[in-house]
Amino acid sequence: MIGVLLVEDQALVRAGFRMVVDSQPDMRVVGEAGDGASGITEAARTAPDVIVMDVRMPTMDGIEATARILAASRTPKVLVLTTYDLDDYAVAAVRAGASGFLLKDAPAEDFLAAIRTVHAGDAVLAASTTRRLLDRLAPPVDPTAQRLVSTLTDRETEVLRVLARGLSNAEIAIELAVGEGTVKTHVRHILTKLAVRDRVRAVIIAHEAGLVLPGTR
C-alpha cells in the first residue's frame, strides 16, 4: 500500500486528488496539508511513501518544504505539481530533491502512474522534458561529478549516458541490445556508486560531469 500525502493549497483540488488516489487498491491518502509548513508537519506525522507537492502556496512554498522534508528523511519521494511545463518553480523543486514533476492538468491515469513510478524509485520526467530541464540546469563541468562518474565501469557509463537522455529502462535495453533486467542491475549499481537516491540525481550528475552536452538528443 502506497501512503500518499497531498500538499496543495486549493481544497477542491486536494479533494479531487484524494478521490482519485483512494479509488486505487494499492494506495491511500494518509494526510493532507494546505501549505508547505503544514506539509512538513504532516510528513513527520504520517511518514508517507510519496508526497504530492504543489509549489505555489502561502506561508511556505513547495520548494522550501521539499528541501526541508528531504533533509530530515530520505524515505519519502516527492512528486511536484506545476501549472506550466518546466516553469522556474519546477526546476527549483528538482534542485531541492524532488523525483520529478507533473502538470496539474494531467489525466488521472497519468497522475496515478506518476505516483507508482516515483514510489518504485524511478523519475517522472518525459524524455523531451528531461532534455529541456537539463538545458536549464546546465552548469560548468564539475570536477566532483567527473570523479563520481569515473568510478563507474565502461558499461555503467554507457548506461548512464543513455539514461541521461531521459530513456526508460525498457528503452535503454532496446538501444543497448540487452535485457531490461540487466539495465535495472546497472542502474542500481550506478545509483549506489554515485551516492544518489534516484535517477533524477544521477541524470544531473551525468550532465554536470559533461557526459551529455546541453541540447543532445
214 within some domain: no
Q: Are residues 160 and 64 in the same domain?
A: no
Q: What is the mean pLDDT of residues 115-140?
A: 68
pLDDT at residue number 72: 87
Q: Are residues 120 and 175 in the same domain?
A: no
pLDDT at residue number 15: 95
32 within some domain: yes
Reduce the DSSP state of residue 160 to 3 states and report it: helix
Q: Are residues 76 and 170 in the same domain?
A: no
pTM for this entry: 0.73
Domain limit, last residue, from 77, 98, 124? 124
| Count of domains observed in the chain | 2
Per cent of the chain over pLDDT 90 is: 51
**How many Å apart are CA 172 and CA 158, to the nearest integer?**
10
Mean of the per-residue pLDDT values of the chain: 86
142 closest CA partner among 91, 206, 213, 94: 206
Cell of 39: 506539509
Of the pLDDT bands very low, low, confident and very high (cuts 50, 70, 90), residue 188 is very high
**How many Å apart are CA 167 and CA 128, to the nearest integer?**
10
Tell which wins on pLDDT, 77 or 200: 77
pLDDT at residue number 170: 86
Q: What is the mean pLDDT of residues 75-81?
A: 88
131 within some domain: no
Provide the CATH number for the domain around residue 54: 3.40.50.2300
Q: Are residues 96 and 203 in the same domain?
A: no
93 within some domain: yes
pLDDT at residue number 104: 81
pLDDT at residue number 86: 59
43 closest CA partner among 54, 56, 31: 31
pLDDT at 50 over 90: yes
Provide the CATH number for the domain around residue 197: 1.10.10.10
Q: Are residues 34 and 114 in the same domain?
A: yes
Domain limit, last residue, from 124, 155, 189? 124
36 closest CA partner among 73, 69, 2, 77: 69
Q: Are residues 201 and 95 in the same domain?
A: no
130 within some domain: no
Q: Are residues 181 and 102 in the same domain?
A: no
**What are the residues facing 102 on neighbouring strands?**
81
Q: Are residues 179 and 113 in the same domain?
A: no
Q: Which domain range does residue 172 map to?
A: 140-208
pLDDT at residue number 199: 81
Of the pLDDT bands very low, low, confident and very high (cuts 50, 70, 90), residue 26 is very high
Q: Are residues 8 and 101 in the same domain?
A: yes
215 within some domain: no
Domain limit, last residue, from 124, 149, 184? 124
132 within some domain: no
pLDDT at residue number 98: 85
Of the pLDDT bands very low, low, confident and very high (cuts 50, 70, 90), residue 93 is confident
Q: Amino acid letter at 158?
A: E
Q: Are residues 33 and 63 in the same domain?
A: yes
DSSP state of 73: -
Q: Are residues 98 and 166 in the same domain?
A: no
Q: Are residues 26 and 99 in the same domain?
A: yes
Of the pLDDT bands very low, low, confident and very high (cuts 50, 70, 90), residue 124 is low
